[in-house]
Structure 1
């Protein structure tokens, strides 16, 4: 009975006559000059018309896509894929939802489009909710919520809260569902967004219906109908009518239940939503079954069955056979009842097996794809080596022939000269190859840092945040009479909060968010400010950094200095650390000096630590030098020089 449209995907719904937004967009389109502006307007019109006139909405989306592709407007392309997410949901095409949401997210991540990233995560959250994977649904909705909070997007935050309410409701977590739906409703009212209000009210109505509080559920439904009628929201009316039909059916007011089911059916037919038509036919059949009108029940159930099979709505097909089995039994048609019951059991088993088979097939596909890609890579390398061998052999033959002819004229002197050139060329190639290998190692390490930092921040960090939120909610609902219990609860929350901060600090150190925007001097200052000044006082003097360095040089030099500071924190037992950075036209000089325990710098080359090796690798790649000046009990000075240009 729970019918959620994509209003929480931020789709507006108004009637043509009452939609000043469409008229305003049409006017703006006639005045638009830039292709990107035109693409954005066509997309907005497509989203406005999605719930009103699907064919017109499709035409607008096609225009937006054509213009965006021609202009290389990646945000426009991502927008259209998001439109397709909504389109697929309307048609009950859940696989289409997943594919288009993933494409929207892929483009958004590649081009750092934060708003579209949130939309992509939101679409995936709806997909996983629709297909019953509540853990994945919550994970994606939280990812969307995080971005929207970062952007202070109130509309998006309200949408994500409403989506979480829907997921928790289907997962039968009624308290959590009520909490998030209420948050979404209040924010929807605050920003004046009727779509979010309607969907959150529908969630709450379903919730009270699940608690068998039908009076309260119907009261909310009637309030939502007023908003739907004011805004011409046909999809919203379908949601509300379906829930009201369920409530009246449970109250045994069957005629009222049928009346609202037929109103729901009108909307399903208007949008051509065959999956929802099948669902409504099933609901009508169930009402006639409860009324004892079994022949009429069979009529509607048989109308529902082919649509469920056509749209591959196996959950609906299973429920149809379940109700048919009951009806046939009531009518004394036992062979047909047994046959319908058998099909119900077979479908129940196949749905479980199909889910497992899909997971196995997905993993197998990933495995085979990676295997093929690895094989292609090997073949490409072998082909390259073969070409190089042939080329090298041909060059050698030519050189030998040339040397033979030249030796008749020039003799041994020219031959020796040629050998020296070959040796120099080989040395140059070896040096170039070494640079390539060093760069590959450094890039691989930097990418791995980013991956780990992202996993910490988005995985562990989100889990800690969820734990903190759930513990806070739990402690609010539990009365603790003993002082030691309250003390333990507060300490537990404090530990979780401290863990959140620790994970965030580690992930930021591994992948500084501002590195490519603020420059090395500013980022080092931010890094130093996070060090406990009571344990280690750090000073930084930087000059000559008015213009930016090349990004690779900035990143590597930042990592070298960061690793050096970490070495001081871990090993030096110092109380003061002074860092001096100076940039000239020739290069960059960095001096990192502490008053710690020191060491025998004459043995520095024997050190085998990973951190020092990473420092040496990066300095070598930058063609710079590093020197350690230290003695036991006299502190340490690290002198770094990196040429520029």
Structure 2
């Protein structure tokens, strides 16, 4: 919950090693520099970044002065630095869309004026944006891009910072092993180059890793060391991170009072920076501790404050987490009505994180509905004024008609509202289905890619080694005169085994190669696959018709894999002696019927098997259907239909 506190350290320019000593040194350089040039603009920028963790108001004054000089000098690297500073400021305020915008702007400047180290800063900012928004693969991609540039230019300060960045991303992606590795490398390099900022960052990564894996003593040891450095360097944000991690450790150890003491220290620092997003997060942590202590009334007070600040700072994850805990607290106190209301707010907040556009459409529809309702009210008042001028008989008739019209209007309004609500629900479901299809495609593509890689490694690596062994053995046997018949028999058997291994590796590599890499088509590929199966164990007949043109690559790949997996299942489980495959293609449909005379199986009890699930996911991906007809002892018939 506290990862934002160290965002600044990930952005720091590599010229700043510490806090007080670096600021004092920079101010001395500023005083001694009388010439208005790019060096002076850089010093103002570096002081501004250093003060950002100590005195934000003064930091703003220095960056404004730097920006003025940059504009006067038309200093390109200075332009990138100012935009990078804006990205840092937005990240600290939780404005991640603005963080993305400024990072992209920094990258454009870097590419336009060929400033590689500025590009590294931009990739760094983009990496943090994707990290904060949960897209860990993109975060790692951008941080690695920054790391490559910094390694190329031997930028040790930047290398250490990039390693720390990668450690944080792996930690949030629950890969503690990689997080610890990068954290230790960052810590070692930061200590060697005497960079307290990255030292603190790396130690807090490791403290989080060890705390999350139950190694509380080790985590607290890093926290203690962090606090010493932060006190020496006036690093308030680093202190906040250490206090927060210590509070989490003590909370897990059920030392709730001690955990609360450290959360209060975190809160004081949040309030110093007036960081409403982090204040809401700290309030939520404090409420969680009181909830574990069964102090529900106190927990409720903190939770309401957390929701207030999360709403003001538009911190949607915080709103969602606070509503979720609030529902739990109300449920524990027996107030089920409020628990239900809180849970509904939690669901609304969760939905907001999933689909922003859907909520915008709902808001527009609600505005339109309210406008129509007001117009109907105005018309009703006008009719009432007219009614007052009519006779008593006419008034009754008119009132009756108006009542009927209102009822009809109300019914129509309800129908329109329900219709729009159903449309929104259908739109949301469609988006969820699209997302699931994209995820399925990614998994299947990754699997095919891995099959190709393994097949290539087998063919080009292991296969070539076996061929070399076979050639060497042939040469050796020609030079060796075997005096005993048993030795000759053993040598010939060894050579035969090596020859058989070469063939087996080649067969396996060809079977694993995806059908898209073959040029002969689905029907021909299946024939080649079947020919490699021992006919003495299983006789297979294949009948194909209608396959004149090659299929779309994804369809052909998926169908080949499904039929291949089905045949392998028959070989492994069915104990069959005969397998018949009928494969035909029409203008609109591809049909595959696979029938064996094996032992059969219970389709209901085996429906959740991994193999059958894999087959089903492939068929669903290409919009097809698959049906199993089988009973124990009576063989199995598989019917597959896929649209062309």
Q: TM-score range by the shorter chain?
A: 0.5 to 0.7
Aligned to 2:383: none
Shift of 1:342: 1.2
Once residues 270 and 218 of structure 1 are traced to their aligned partners in structure 2, the CA distance between those partners, rounded to angstroms, is 25
Once residues 20 and 40 of structure 1 are traced to their aligned partners in structure 2, the CA distance between those partners, rounded to angstroms, is 14
Shift of 1:26: 4.5
1:138 to 140, 146, 153: 140
Gaps of 5+ in 2: 361-445, 455-464, 470-500, 502-644
Mapping 1:180-195, distance limit 5 Å: 180-195=182-197
Aligned to 2:72: 70
Once residues 107 and 143 of structure 2 are traced to their aligned partners in structure 1, the CA distance between those partners, rounded to angstroms, is 13
Q: 1:149 to 1:27 in 2, by over 3 A?
A: closer
Contact 2:11 2:125 survives alignment (8 Å): yes
Q: 1:256 to 1:156 in 2, by over 3 A?
A: same
Contact 1:325 1:336 survives alignment (8 Å): yes
SS of residue paired to 1:51: coil
Contact 1:22 1:45 survives alignment (8 Å): no
Q: 1:14 to 1:266 in 2, by over 3 A?
A: farther
Contact 2:17 2:195 survives alignment (8 Å): no
Contact 2:26 2:47 survives alignment (8 Å): no
1:348 to 350, 353, 357: 350
2:282 to 276, 280, 297: 280
Aligned to 2:368: none
Q: 1:356 to 1:192 in 2, by over 3 A?
A: farther
Once residues 283 and 163 of structure 2 are traced to their aligned partners in structure 1, the CA distance between those partners, rounded to angstroms, is 31
Once residues 346 and 151 of structure 1 are traced to their aligned partners in structure 2, the CA distance between those partners, rounded to angstroms, is 48
Shift of 1:31: 2.2
Aligned to 1:271: 273
Shift of 1:41: 1.5
Aligned to 2:338: 336
SS of residue paired to 1:19: helix
Once residues 239 and 341 of structure 1 are traced to their aligned partners in structure 2, the CA distance between those partners, rounded to angstroms, is 30
Aligned to 1:97: 99
Once structures 1 and 2 are overlaid, which stretch shifts more, 181-190 or 96-105? 96-105
Note the aligned Cα RMSD (angstroms): 2.6
Shift of 1:2: 3.8
Contact 2:140 2:166 survives alignment (8 Å): yes
Deviations 1:429-470 (A, max 9, x none): xxxxxxxxxxxxxxxxxxxxxxxxxxxxxxxxxx9xxx9xxx
Q: 1:324 to 1:195 in 2, by over 3 A?
A: same
2:126 to 124, 127, 138: 124
Q: After TM superposition, which residue ranges in structure 1, 4 or more long, deviate above 2 angstroms?
A: 1-5, 10-15, 18-32, 354-358
Once residues 275 and 168 of structure 2 are traced to their aligned partners in structure 1, the CA distance between those partners, rounded to angstroms, is 21
Contact 2:204 2:242 survives alignment (8 Å): yes
Once residues 357 and 196 of structure 1 are traced to their aligned partners in structure 2, the CA distance between those partners, rounded to angstroms, is 41
Shift of 1:326: 0.9
Contact 2:281 2:306 survives alignment (8 Å): yes
Shift of 1:25: 2.7
Once residues 28 and 122 of structure 2 are traced to their aligned partners in structure 1, the CA distance between those partners, rounded to angstroms, is 27
Please say if 1:223 is aligned against 2:242: no
SS of residue paired to 1:5: helix
Mapping 1:315-394, distance limit 5 Å: 315-354=317-356
Contact 2:204 2:223 survives alignment (8 Å): yes
Shift of 1:355: 8.6
Mapping 1:534-549, distance limit 5 Å: none
Mapping 1:11-50, distance limit 5 Å: 12=16, 18-19=20-21, 21-50=23-52
Mapping 1:434-449, distance limit 5 Å: none
Please say if 1:165 is aligned against 2:172: no
Once residues 98 and 6 of structure 1 are traced to their aligned partners in structure 2, the CA distance between those partners, rounded to angstroms, is 15
Aligned to 2:633: none
Gaps of 5+ in 1: 359-462, 472-482, 489-645
Shift of 1:35: 2.5
Contact 1:115 1:147 survives alignment (8 Å): yes
Shift of 1:357: 9.0
2:176 to 174, 177, 198: 174
Once residues 237 and 207 of structure 1 are traced to their aligned partners in structure 2, the CA distance between those partners, rounded to angstroms, is 18
Once residues 57 and 177 of structure 2 are traced to their aligned partners in structure 1, the CA distance between those partners, rounded to angstroms, is 40
Contact 1:159 1:184 survives alignment (8 Å): yes
Contact 1:22 1:48 survives alignment (8 Å): no
State TM-score, norm by structure 2: 0.54
Deviations 1:364-419 (A, max 9, x none): xxxxxxxxxxxxxxxxxxxxxxxxxxxxxxxxxxxxxxxxxxxxxxxxxxxxxxxx
Shift of 1:258: 0.3
SS of residue paired to 1:172: coil
Once residues 308 and 153 of structure 1 are traced to their aligned partners in structure 2, the CA distance between those partners, rounded to angstroms, is 38
